[in-house]
Amino acid sequence: MERYRGLALSFLPTRPHVSRLMAALGIECEQRLGALESLAEQLQLRHCLPTLSTRRRALADERRLHLFITDDAMACETLGYALAFAQHSRQFSELMARYCHLPTLDAVLAQFVASKRNECRLLEEMRDRTYRAAALI
């Protein structure tokens, strides 16, 4: 969620359409997090989730690297980076869905997997479109 928010800001000055995609993906992450928190609350496992301060500390290094995207090469590299993280997250969600056989989690994890697959597809399309545009220049 925080990563996508930072990327939305990075792309805003030169590629507002990519910025909007990153912002939308950040909102989807926030919704998934809300669903997970709600389920953890129902299962009385809220204490198992990382706290907000823990999540923010984990992303502190990324915030220091916040840059505005200034050219096509930087845009392509950054989209590749975002896609790699999304693919890793998708793979983790798929593993959780495959090996976590709790009926209360099945629907949530299936939704996470579908959402992450769509996220990867959108990022891949945006990266490919950016590569093609860079090649034309």
pLDDT in tens, 6-48: 999 999 999 999 999 999 999 999 999 899 889 888 888 888 7
CA distance 112 to 33: 10
CA distance 133 to 124: 14
Q: What is the pLDDT of residue 58?
A: 57
Q: What is the pLDDT of residue 47?
A: 82
**Alpha-carbon 13 to chain mean position:** 21
Q: What is the mean pLDDT of residues 87-100?
A: 94
DSSP 71: S
Place of tokens 């690297």: 65
* Mean predicted lDDT score pLDDT of the chain: 87
pLDDT over 80 (residue 63): no
- Structure tokens of 108? 């949530």
Q: What is the mean pLDDT of residues 105-123?
A: 94
Checking 69-76 for CB contacts under 8 A at 24+ apart, the result is 69/10, 69/11, 69/13, 69/14, 69/15, 69/18, 70/14, 72/130, 72/133, 72/134, 72/137, 73/134, 75/11, 75/14, 75/15, 75/18, 75/130, 75/134, 76/127, 76/130, 76/131, 76/134
pLDDT over 80 (residue 99): yes
Residue 63, Ramachandran bin (φ over 0: left; ψ between -120 and 50: alpha; else beta): alpha
Q: What is the pLDDT of residue 40?
A: 86
Report the predicted TM-score, pTM, of the whole model to 2 decimal places: 0.84
- Structure tokens of 62? 């990324």
Q: What is the pLDDT of residue 124?
A: 97
Q: What is the mean pLDDT of residues 70-79?
A: 92
